[in-house]
Amino acid sequence: MIKGRLEKLMKMLMEQASYVSKMIELCLVTINDKQDNSKEIKAYEEKVNELENKLEEECIYTIALNQPEASNLRTIVAIMKTNVNLERLGDLAEKISSSTNKIMNQPIFNEIQDVEKIGRETKKIVDNVISAISQMDPDLANKVREDDDIVDYLNRKIINDLLKLDYSEYSLSELFHVVRISRAFERIADLATNIAEDTIYASSGTQVKHGADLEEENE
């Protein structure tokens, strides 16, 4: 019975994850093609929010009904935490969409070449972490943790490049929205890293958060 419940929870989680991945992909389309996709992104965000509530209820029901232990309990907890993080990813994608629409036709948008790159790297991290948790693959989850450094670097580079610009040529609003976009992508990668760490714990019993490397003694 518990196996069937876990399969149902994972199926719901993957549906939610697919919506988030599409939201980020639409953000990249907006950046690359200067195309307003805000309505579609908003529609996906509403689906993510609806699924978050349903999945939380299903997780709680599964724990109450089956009283799982060890690896099964870790899997459910990982699904619950990922559920929350995916909802946050959706919120951040909507922020990126909003800010991109405000400046995509402004001169500053052509000055910061790494905005598209940080988006592309972030999308890759998100897709990898979705695969990692669906397969309970600790190796792929570890790769996500490593790739987060690339996004951190690009975020710092974008901010440094902004500091080199002649501020008299751009409005404060333009500068703010570039920072907001970059920071949102960086935050998405951070949340994906959190999902990766929860995946490692669920699949192997090894706690890697905050530099820890402790395996559960009672499996």
State the SS3 of 20-55.
HHHHHHHHHHHHHHCCCCHHHHHHHHHHHHHHHHHH
**Model pTM score:** 0.92
- E-state strands within 135-213: 206-207
**Residues 29-52, mean pLDDT to the nearest whole number:** 95
Residue 107 has pLDDT above 90, yes or no: no
pLDDT, residue 179, reads 95
pLDDT tens digits along 126-145: 999 999 999 999 999 999 99
The answer to whether 90 and 44 are in contact (CB under 8 A) is yes
pLDDT, residue 214, reads 47
Residue 215 is inside which H or E element, if any? Answer: strand 214-215
The answer to whether 104 and 28 are in contact (CB under 8 A) is no
Confidence of residue 117 (pLDDT cuts 50, 70, 90): very high
Confidence of residue 215 (pLDDT cuts 50, 70, 90): very low
Residue 213 has pLDDT above 70, yes or no: no
The answer to whether 116 and 27 are in contact (CB under 8 A) is no
**Residues 74-97, mean pLDDT to the nearest whole number:** 97
Confidence of residue 217 (pLDDT cuts 50, 70, 90): very low
Residue 57 is inside which H or E element, if any? Answer: helix 38-66
pLDDT tens digits along 10-33: 999 999 999 999 999 999 999 999
Cα–Cα distance, 197 to 115 (Å, whole number): 26
